[in-house]
């Protein structure tokens, strides 16, 4: 049996609903609908044989995985490397505000987020370095089986691009990662293979159709 990493994005927050910048510097809570997403994930996946669970320390990630941890009586391993990208001066601001107040930085970031960070924030290369360190740790402890990695929109997309050989400069435009979605990568003899991208069939239609990112 090979190692499969299941990348779970946290449930809905007010910031994901309203499309505000919410990174490592914003410790947002789940909305009531986000809590429902967390429970729906646990209900659907609690019978899977989980080797380990790794989670971002941010509250929205921990709250998302808590129902599953309770159901299967398995503690999550909390790792700073799985935090969301740092948006620096943009944290908590709307897209319109960032475009108006940080226009040049925003344009550079749009053109190449791998090398150009949000104002006082992190580039995609910075995030890849810390997040892939966690992936390396998982490989050291788990040769096979199912491992859950609970993280955030940008961080998950950056990890997936890094593993699949997709240019980090395009991570924002190549892979979807809506709230409550799961993506699965299997590590075989020929390297990482993407099996599932941004699946949300464990959520009822009402939750899948909510506005936001």
Strand 145-151 vs strand 3-9: parallel, antiparallel, or unpaired? parallel
> What pLDDT digit, counting tens, does each position of 24-53 carry?
999 999 999 999 999 999 999 999 999 999
For residue 140, give every residue at least 6 positions away whose Cβ sits within 8 Å of its Cβ, in sequence order, or none: none
Supply the DSSP symbol for 144: S
In this prediction, residues 70-91 reach a mean pLDDT of: 98
| Burial group, residue 189, by CB count within 10 angstroms (0-12, 13-18, 19+) | exposed
Average pLDDT over the chain reads 97
User: In the chain, which residue ranges form alpha helices assigned H by DSSP?
Assistant: 14-18, 32-45, 59-72, 95-101, 103-111, 124-141, 153-164, 171-174, 205-208
Pair 207, 37: CB distance under 8 Å = yes
What are the residue boundaries of the structural domains of the chain, listed by start? 3-208
Q: Answer whether CATH 3.40.50.1240 is correct for domain 3-208.
A: yes
Q: What is the pLDDT of residue 82?
A: 99
**Gyration radius of the chain over CA positions:** 16
Number of H helices, E strands in the chain: 9, 6
In this prediction, residues 152-180 reach a mean pLDDT of: 97
> What pLDDT digit, counting tens, does each position of 134-153 carry?
999 999 999 999 999 999 99
**Residue 154 corresponds to which tokens in the numbers above?**
């940008």
Separation CA 11–CA 207 (nearest Å): 10
Q: What is the pLDDT of residue 1?
A: 80
In the chain, what percentage of residues exceed pLDDT 70? 100
With 90 as the cut, is the pLDDT of residue 203 above it?
A: yes
Pair 39, 65: CB distance under 8 Å = no
| Burial group, residue 113, by CB count within 10 angstroms (0-12, 13-18, 19+) | buried
List C-alpha distances in Å: 145 to 9, 31, 187: 20, 32, 10
In the chain, what percentage of residues exceed pLDDT 90? 99
In this prediction, residues 9-30 reach a mean pLDDT of: 97
How many angstroms from the chain centroid is the CA of residue 151?
Answer: 3
**Residue 32 corresponds to which tokens in the numbers above?**
């009531």
């Amino acid at each position: 049996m090979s190692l499969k990493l299941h990348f779970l994005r946290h449930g809905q927050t007010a910031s994901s609903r309203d499309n505000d910048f919410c990174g490592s510097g914003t410790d947002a809570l789940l909305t009531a609908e986000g809590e429902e997403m967390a429970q729906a994930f646990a209900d659907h996946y609690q019978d899977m044989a989980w080797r380990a669970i790794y989670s971002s320390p941010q509250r929205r990630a921990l709250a998302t995985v808590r129902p599953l941890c309770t159901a299967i009586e398995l503690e999550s391993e909390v790792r700073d490397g799985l935090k969301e990208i740092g948006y620096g001066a943009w944290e908590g601001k709307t897209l319109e505000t960032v475009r108006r107040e940080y226009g040049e930085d925003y344009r550079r970031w749009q053109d190449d987020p791998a090398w150009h960070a949000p104002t006082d924030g992190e580039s995609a290369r910075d995030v890849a370095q810390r997040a892939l360190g966690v992936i390396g740790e998982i490989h050291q402890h788990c040769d096979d089986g199912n491992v859950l990695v609970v993280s955030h929109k940008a961080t998950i997309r950056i990890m997936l691009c890094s593993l699949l050989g997709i240019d980090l400069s395009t991570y924002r435009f190549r892979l979807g990662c809506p709230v409550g979605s799961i993506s699965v990568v299997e590590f075989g003899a020929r390297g990482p293979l993407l099996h599932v991208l941004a699946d949300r069939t464990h959520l009822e239609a009402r939750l899948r159709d909510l506005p936001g990112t």
